[in-house]
Homo-oligomer: A and B are copies of this chain.
Amino acid sequence: MLSKACEYCIKAVVFLAQRSKEGKLSIVKEIAQAIDSPEAFTAKVLQQLVKGGFISSVKGVKGGFFIEEKTLQHLNLLQIVTAIDGRGLIDNCMLGLNQCSEVNPCPVHHLYKGIKADIVQLLNCSLVNDLTIEFSQKLSVLKN
């Protein structure tokens, strides 16, 4: 469904959002620990998030990552998923047909289209800010 890179990104962003609301920067080590991910690999995917403009970073002593308040207001999971994994999950046919559509459907097209729409809706309606609030209240976890 989602790549490991994308899973780490989503979890990292939720954690970072919480920390940012507390006015704190987080270094890679803290993030990797909070989401139980390999540190070096996490650093790589965080770079992608910075390049995509989803999170911000500060180098050097007292540096780290954070999310700008105004970015957090509208940031949702669809933005992150498409930036990291591309539009495959959203666009692709379940059976991999290049041209799968209403007029040229694969055998499961009509059954799958509703599910795909639901996935897009889940991602699009999942505001990082909302997820973070739940996480702060310990109503959800980012690791076991």
Contact = CB atoms under 8 A, between A and B. Distances in A.
Nearest to A141: B104
Contacts of A95: 2, 7, 10-11, 142
A107 B140 contact: yes
Interface in A110-144: 111-112, 114-115, 118-119, 122, 125-126, 131, 134-135, 139-144
A105 B2 contact: no
Contacts of A4: 96
Given A2-B94, A104-B141, A141-B97, A122 B115 contact: yes
A67 interface: no
Bin chain A's interface residue count. Answer: 35 or more
Interface string A38-82: 000000000000000000000000000000000000000100000
B131 A108 contact: yes
Contacts of A125: 111
Contacts of A112: 122
A108 B94 contact: no
A125 B115 CA distance: 14
Interface string A84-111: 0000010010111111000011111101
Most B C-beta atoms less than 10 A away, residue of A11, A96, A141, A142: A96
